[in-house]
Structure 1
Amino acid sequence: MQETANDHLFLFLSLLLFLIVILAFSLRQVFSGKDQLPLGRTGFPIVGETLEFMSMGRKGTPEKFFKERMAKYSPKVFKTSLLAEKTVVFCGASGNKFLFSNENKLVTSWWPRSVEKIFPSSTQTSTFEESLKMRNLLPQFLKPEALQKYVGTMDIVARSHLDTHWNNHKKVTVFPLAKNYTFTLACRLFLSVDNPTQIAKFSDPFNLLVAGILSVPVNIPGTKFNKAINATKTIRKEMIRIIRQRTADLGAGIVILGNDILSHMLITTDENGQFMKEMDIADKIIGLLIGGHDTTSAAITFILKYLAELPKVYDKVLQEVEELAIEKNGGDLLNWEDLKKMKYCWNVVNEVLRMAPPLQGNFREALTDFTYAGFSIPKGWKLYWNANTTHKNPKYFSEPEKFEPSRFEGKGPIPFTYVPFGGGPRMCPGKEYARLEILVFMYNIVRRFKWEKVILDEKIVVDPMPMMANGLPIRLYPH
């Protein structure tokens, strides 16, 4: 009896072992084949790895999130979960090239749910469709030929801003003043609004709105997301008032037709001959103001940070703008040709945008199932690219933590490695606009001041774009 029992037990264990081997082999076949998802982990339910992602940003090391996972899973692609979405992160120049080259083929633009909730479309169309409409409206205002006429206005606004907020001050905090400059300029050029009191009505709500766009979408009083929703309502009311006043002015012939983006939107019809609704116009203008608000302000702040830390770079910038000033007659305004001569200044800006890109990355969505780098990417999954996988990668930029403007001389970086404005069909349409407003500001401020940091070891935080923890307070020394 004992031998029979032992035989049965041996037979059972042998069968169990056989089944385990078969199962293991089958699983290996599945996970080594074309159906294998990218390696990685999705973290906790719903939250995923979002908190860790944000935490590393607030500590000033957003690239650490990607470096750790690229080293552990794959330098090309890994899976995670961000903003309650299953996400695949595409890394390196090859990842950027793939996403940028397959726009509207394999992938499409995607915005987090928080954006949809803050900006619910009154026409019930998708964010993608609204984005296409906006891009069709923008070219005549943001293409280089059209921007040439804006340079003089930018110079006027920059001079006025420095006269009001910088002159006769021994110490200033850069970031809020940079936001004042870029926002005032956007209101002037997009809306023809230059009344400081009227602009001030937008300023504080816009700060709350921008802070909440990519926050955790929890609509509870006191959260960033809740504040952003309430701020949007406030901004919309003021925007609707401006739209109605402009409509009345156009009807009375007070405003020249099409002289700014708002006027153009009011007189433009769609393919069915229908004019845009007030709320649609308001949301699109708000989106434009956001695009020209914190991103360029952050870039200007970091430009001043590095010029304070690197006196040799500052001296070369000063030399270039002074040589340009000598060519100008007295107080003549800057023009398009002047800015084209600021080659070293623009190399400095590019290096700042490499070191601290305001646009850290962006999302796409898979339109269909496809494979990439040997892994299967399911339809509907969210895809994310991040500038730091190339900008801070020694494979593409030697000594990536060293500030070196000469990287952008000649042919510049390898394609798809330098992506502060994105790439492909969805490259930031305001790239040239940002270039002009930054160079105009650099020209004016460097000619007036030298400066030094008040907080020598001030930390950098990324939430969701890089900024100085204390806004970069500086001590001014007028020339």
Structure 2
Amino acid sequence: MRKMLPNFLKPEALQRYIGIMDHIAQKYFQSWENQEEVLVFPLAKRYTFWLACRLFVSVEDPNHVAKLADPFDVLASGLISIPINLPGTPFNRAIKASNFIRKELVAIIKQRKIDLTEGKASDSQDILSHMLLTSDENGKFMHELDIADKILGLLIGGHDTASSACTFIVKYLAELPDIYDGVYKEQIEIAKSKGPGELLNWEDIKKMKYSWNVACEVLRLAPPLQGAFREALVDFTFNGFSIPKGWKIYWSANSTHRNPEVFLDPLKFDPSRFEGNGPAPYTFVPFGGGPRMCPGKEYARLEILVFMHHLVKRFNWKKIIQNEKIVVNPMPIPANGLPIRLYPHHNKT
């Protein structure tokens, strides 16, 4: 799986999907129009799930996405529940939800096989086509259930983490008007350079340097991935501690990102940390690091930047709950979902 994904998720492969992301984002933000107040986190989850459904399995119809979204939320909420499979428990509900989603995915896979055979589907339209047409080193193709399981894993990995990041971007831009102004200036210049109906492209993404620095600073202060376990492959010593081979080690993104020896004045929001070469290797790890780094890093960058582009060119906003508590379960999210009051720009581009 990790050998297959980079071919689909590398920047040059993802470039062709920027216009699709832009098109979906335009339709998505229509749901924000004519609303004085919105709850950000549920809407951010809807955005990232809609994108994932389209780019992974070409499901774009809002009704079909909604049919998958509710059981997917049940599944996601049960991932770290106590594994007691009794009726009514979060674990039991998650199993039922995963079975429903898996059944839906298998139906999509079967239809895609037919469409590919009849020339009604493209071999490059999404990751599902890529999986169906890619064999292993022995020339064998993946079974439908294996593909469904892997797509399900991708939906989980590419959904909640990005929605958490988008939510905290909204939070910090509400709290820091100077930072908002810098992002707005960059994005409105890009918007003004586009012709009527012209979609975002790779050249536009490359111009979003300040916006991505801001997003990185948000990811530093509120990393969706709090950390992960790894196994020591050899005996080694770290900071005076002897770590035997085979021991499980937990690396923490939060403590690394807030280490004053790594980031000067670590609690200050400062996007300039990411100018030039940026932080030293293995000090900024919202996507992990090394050979096990998240293969979806570039995909996440694109969906976050497209989100920022459409958000700031349409609205300014204020938080309704000024000191909203942050809960971690397992990712950081505002306890009340981050309710905000919207102030639309009068001259939307």
Q: The TM-score by the shorter chain falls in which range? A: over 0.9
Kindly provide the amino acid, as one letter, of the partner of residue 161 in structure 2: T
Kindly provide the amino acid, as one letter, of the partner of residue 320 in structure 2: V
Superimposed CA distance per residue, residues 35-68 of structure 1 (whole angstroms, 9 cap, x where no aligned partner): xxxxxxxxxxxxxxxxxxxxxxxxxxxxxxxxxx
- Within-5 A mapping of 1:169-248: 169-248=35-114
How many residues were matched structurally? 344
1:423 positional shift:
0.5
Rate the CA distance shift 1:401–1:190 in 2: closer, same or farther, 3 A: same
Kindly provide the amino acid, as one letter, of the partner of residue 183 in structure 2: V
Q: Report the Cα distance in structure 1 between the residues aligned to 2:241 and 2:342, rounded to whole angstroms.
A: 54
SS in 2 for 1:353: helix
Q: Is the 8 A contact 2:8 2:130 kept in 1?
A: no
2:182 is matched with 316
What's the TM-score, normalizing by structure 2? Answer: 0.94
1:162 is matched with 29
Can you give the 5+ residue segments of structure 1 that lack an aligned partner in the other structure?
1-133
Can you give the 5+ residue segments of structure 2 that lack an aligned partner in the other structure?
none
1:357 positional shift:
0.3
Q: Is the 8 A contact 2:24 2:51 kept in 1?
A: yes
Q: Report the Cα distance in structure 2 between the residues aligned to 1:144 and 1:301, rounded to whole angstroms.
A: 24
Q: Does 1:370 find its partner at 2:251?
A: no
Q: Report the Cα distance in structure 2 between the residues aligned to 1:244 and 1:309, rounded to whole angstroms.
A: 48
Rate the CA distance shift 1:223–1:395 in 2: closer, same or farther, 3 A: farther
Q: Report the Cα distance in structure 1 between the residues aligned to 2:283 and 2:140, rounded to whole angstroms.
A: 42
1:417 is matched with 283
1:135 is matched with 2
1:86 is matched with none
Rate the CA distance shift 1:257–1:325 in 2: closer, same or farther, 3 A: closer
Kindly provide the amino acid, as one letter, of the partner of residue 199 in structure 1: V
Q: Does 1:473 find its partner at 2:339?
A: yes
Q: Please give the root-mean-square deviation of Cα atoms over the aligned residues, in Å.
A: 1.6
Q: Report the Cα distance in structure 1 between the residues aligned to 2:92 and 2:192, rounded to whole angstroms.
A: 52
SS in 1 for 2:142: coil
Q: Does 1:144 find its partner at 2:7?
A: no
Kindly provide the amino acid, as one letter, of the partner of residue 144 in structure 1: P
SS in 2 for 1:296: helix
1:467 positional shift:
0.5
Q: Report the Cα distance in structure 2 between the residues aligned to 1:250 and 1:339, rounded to whole angstroms.
A: 31
1:375 positional shift:
4.3
Superimposed CA distance per residue, residues 261-296 of structure 1 (whole angstroms, 9 cap, x where no aligned partner): 111212222233322111100000011111110100
SS in 2 for 1:383: strand
SS in 2 for 1:476: strand
Of 458, 472, 475, 2:324 maps to: 458
- Within-5 A mapping of 1:321-470: 321-367=187-233, 370-373=235-238, 374-470=240-336
- Within-5 A mapping of 1:277-292: 277-292=143-158
Q: Report the Cα distance in structure 1 between the residues aligned to 2:4 and 2:277, rounded to whole angstroms.
A: 32
Superimposed CA distance per residue, residues 399-450 of structure 1 (whole angstroms, 9 cap, x where no aligned partner): 2222111111222222211110100011111111111111111111101111
Kindly provide the amino acid, as one letter, of the partner of residue 370 in structure 1: D
Q: Report the Cα distance in structure 1 between the residues aligned to 2:256 and 2:318, rounded to whole angstroms.
A: 30
- Within-5 A mapping of 1:29-108: none
SS in 2 for 1:136: coil
Q: Percent of aligned positions with the same letter in both sequences?
A: 66
Superimposed CA distance per residue, residues 107-128 of structure 1 (whole angstroms, 9 cap, x where no aligned partner): xxxxxxxxxxxxxxxxxxxxxx
1:378 positional shift:
4.2
1:382 positional shift:
2.0
2:160 is matched with 294
Rate the CA distance shift 1:277–1:397 in 2: closer, same or farther, 3 A: same
1:169 positional shift:
0.9
- Return the index of the structure with the highest Cα Rg: 1
- Greater CA drift, 211-220 or 312-321: 211-220
SS in 1 for 2:249: strand
Kindly provide the amino acid, as one letter, of the partner of residue 459 in structure 1: K
1:356 positional shift:
0.3
1:147 positional shift:
1.0
1:65 is matched with none
Q: Report the Cα distance in structure 2 between the residues aligned to 1:268 and 1:418, rounded to whole angstroms.
A: 33
Kindly provide the amino acid, as one letter, of the partner of residue 288 in structure 1: L
Q: Report the Cα distance in structure 2 between the residues aligned to 1:463 and 1:396, rounded to whole angstroms.
A: 27
SS in 2 for 1:135: coil
